[in-house]
C-alpha cells in the first residue's frame, strides 16, 4: 500500500500532493479555502501574486495533456514562478537516460517543484520518494491511480454552486474502472462527508471492489440518477481498455449517455460535471454539455485557482495552509 504520510511534513502541512486518500477533511477544506482566496487574482489588472517568486516549477508530463498542463502552467505563472515544460518525447529519457538521472539533473539546476503526469500508477510517489528534501511533487495524474488536483477542482466547483457537502447525493457515471479521476473524486467526496456517493455503469467498467470505497453501485442509469444533486460524467478511457469491454459506443450512449430525458431523474437543480475532454454523443449530448445545468467550463476556470492553492501550500508559502494529517 502507498504511504500517504509521504505527502506531509513533520508539522502536518503539505509537502507533496500525490493522492487524496489518507488526507483529513480539514486539509481538503484548507485547499478549498486557499483556492477561494486566490481565485480573485484573475480579476486583477496584473494577474500575479508573488507567492512563488524566485521558484522554478517543472511540468514533467510523460503523457499527453492540454487542459491539465496548461492550467498548471498558468497557475505557476500567476504565483510568479518560473516554469519549464519538459518535452519528454524529445528529452534524454528517449535516449536511454533513466527517470532518476533526469530528476537528479533537474535538481542540479535548482528546480523547486515537479508537476508529474505519468502512465504508470505510483510514478508520482516514486519520484517523491527520491527527490531532494527541498523539492515538492504534485501528481497531475498517474495511470489508473489518482488525479488529486482534478478531484479538488471538482470539489471546489461543487461547493461554489451547492454550498455544504453534507446533504448532497452525488452520482459518478461511466468508466470508473479506468478512471484515476473517479478514484480521487470518491475519496474526496467521502472525506468531505457528502450524504451519498453513487457509481453508475456497466459491470465491465466498474472495479470489482468498488463498494469497499463506500459507494452505492447502480447498473441502471435512471435509477442511479434518481434524486441526486450532482452528476459527474466520465470519459470512456478507450486508450486504457484491454479487449472489448463495450459492444459499441452507440449502445453505451443508449444505456449510459446523459440526455435531457435521463437527467430528468435527478433533482431539478442538479448540476452536470465532466473532467473533460468530452465525447459528445457518447457520454453526454451537446444540449446538456452546453446547457444551463452544466458547470463544465466553470470546472476548467476553477482548476487554475485550485492548482495555485496546492502549489503555494506545498511550497509552504501561503498563510492559510492549515494543519492536516494522515488517517
On whether both 278 and 228 belong to a single domain, the answer is: yes
Residues 6+ apart with CB under 8 A from 69: 59, 61, 85, 117, 140
Assigned domain for 322 exists: no
Residues 27 and 79 placed together within one structural domain of the fold: yes
Prediction pTM value: 0.90
Q: Is residue 110 part of a domain?
A: yes
- Are 187 and 293 in a shared domain? yes
- Residue 1: its pLDDT value, please? 39
CB-CB neighbours of 280 under 10 Å: 15
Rounded Cα distance, 66 and 137, in Å = 20
- Domain shared by 108 and 41, yes or no: yes
Exposed, middle or buried: residue 88 (CB in 10 Å: 0-12, 13-18, 19+)?
middle
By residue range, what is the domain housing residue 64?
5-146+301-314
- Tens-digit pLDDT profile for the chain (327 aa)? 344 479 999 889 999 999 999 999 999 999 999 999 999 987 788 889 999 999 999 999 988 788 899 999 999 999 999 999 986 755 655 555 677 888 888 899 999 999 999 888 899 999 999 999 999 999 999 988 999 999 999 999 999 999 999 999 999 999 999 899 999 999 999 999 999 999 999 998 999 889 999 999 999 999 999 999 999 999 886 544 444 456 678 888 999 999 999 999 999 999 999 998 888 988 999 999 999 999 999 999 999 999 999 999 999 843 333 333 333
Helices 25-38, 296-314: crossing angle, 10 deg rounding: 110
Residue 286 is part of a domain; what is its CATH number? 3.40.50.1370
Check whether residue 293 and residue 156 sit in a common domain: yes
In a domain, 325, yes or no: no
Whether residue 238 is contained in a domain is answered as: yes
Same domain, 14 and 119: yes
Separation of alpha carbons 111 and 32, rounded Å: 26
For position 99, what pLDDT does the model report?
78
Neighbouring CB atoms inside 10 A of 101's CB total 12
Residues 21 and 139 reside in one and the same domain: yes
Say if residue 33 is in the same domain as residue 49: yes
Same domain flag for 132 and 153: no
The per-residue pLDDT for 324 is: 35
Judge whether 168 lies within some domain: yes
C-alpha 12/C-alpha 221 separation (Å) is 41
Closest CA to 171 of 233, 213, 220: 233
Query: Do both 189 and 272 map to the same domain?
Result: yes
Given this model, what pLDDT does residue 67 score? 86
Residue 326 lies in a domain: no
- Cell numbers describing residue 159: 461547493
**Does residue 206 share a domain with residue 122?**
no
Examine the domain organization and report whether 155 and 142 are in the same domain.
no
In a domain, 239, yes or no: yes
* Total domains, the chain: 2
Is the residue at 320 inside a domain? no
Amino acid at each position: 500500500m502507498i504511504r500517504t504520510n509521504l505527502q506531509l511534513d513533520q508539522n502536518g502541512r503539505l509537502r507533496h500532493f500525490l493522492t487524496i486518500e489518507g488526507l483529513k477533511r480539514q486539509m481538503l477544506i484548507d485547499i478549498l479555502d486557499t483556492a477561494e482566496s486566490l481565485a480573485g487574482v484573475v480579476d486583477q489588472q496584473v494577474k500575479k501574486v508573488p507567492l512563488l517568486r524566485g521558484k522554478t516549477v517543472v511540468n514533467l508530463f510523460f503523457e499527453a495533456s492540454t487542459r491539465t498542463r496548461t492550467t498548471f502552467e498558468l497557475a505557476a505563472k500567476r504565483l510568479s514562478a518560473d516554469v519549464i515544460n519538459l518535452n519528454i518525447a524529445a528529452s534524454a529519457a528517449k535516449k536511454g537516460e533513466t527517470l532518476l538521472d533526469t530528476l537528479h539533473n533537474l535538481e542540479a539546476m535548482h528546480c523547486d517543484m515537479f508537476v508529474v503526469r505519468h502512465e504508470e500508477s505510483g510514478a508520482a510517489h516514486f519520484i517523491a520518494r527520491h527527490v531532494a528534501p527541498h523539492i515538492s511533487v504534485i501528481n497531475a495524474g498517474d495511470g489508473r491511480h489518482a488525479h488529486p488536483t482534478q478531484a479538488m477542482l471538482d470539489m471546489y466547483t461543487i461547493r461554489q454552486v451547492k454550498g455544504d457537502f453534507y446533504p448532497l447525493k452525488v452520482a459518478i457515471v461511466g468508466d470508473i474502472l479506468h478512471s484515476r479521476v473517479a478514484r480521487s473524486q470518491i475519496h474526496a467526496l467521502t472525506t468531505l462527508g457528502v450524504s451519498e456517493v453513487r457509481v453508475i455503469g456497466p459491470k465491465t467498467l466498474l472495479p470489482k471492489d468498488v463498494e469497499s470505497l463506500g459507494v452505492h453501485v447502480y447498473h441502471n442509469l435512471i435509477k442511479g440518477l434518481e434524486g441526486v444533486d450532482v452528476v459527474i460524467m466520465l470519459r470512456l478511457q478507450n486508450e486504457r481498455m484491454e479487449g472489448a469491454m463495450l459492444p459499441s459506443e452507440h449502445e453505451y450512449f443508449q444505456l449510459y449517455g446523459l440526455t435531457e430525458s435521463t437527467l430528468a431523474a435527478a433533482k431539478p437543480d442538479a448540476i452536470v460535471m465532466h473532467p473533460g475532454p468530452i465525447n459528445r454523443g457518447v457520454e453526454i449530448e451537446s444540449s446538456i454539455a452546453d446547457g444551463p445545468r452544466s458547470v463544465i467550463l466553470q470546472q476548467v476556470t476553477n482548476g487554475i485557482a485550485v492548482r495555485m492553492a496546492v502549489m503555494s501550500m506545498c511550497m509552504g508559502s501561503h498563510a492559510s495552509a492549515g494543519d492536516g494529517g494522515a488517517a
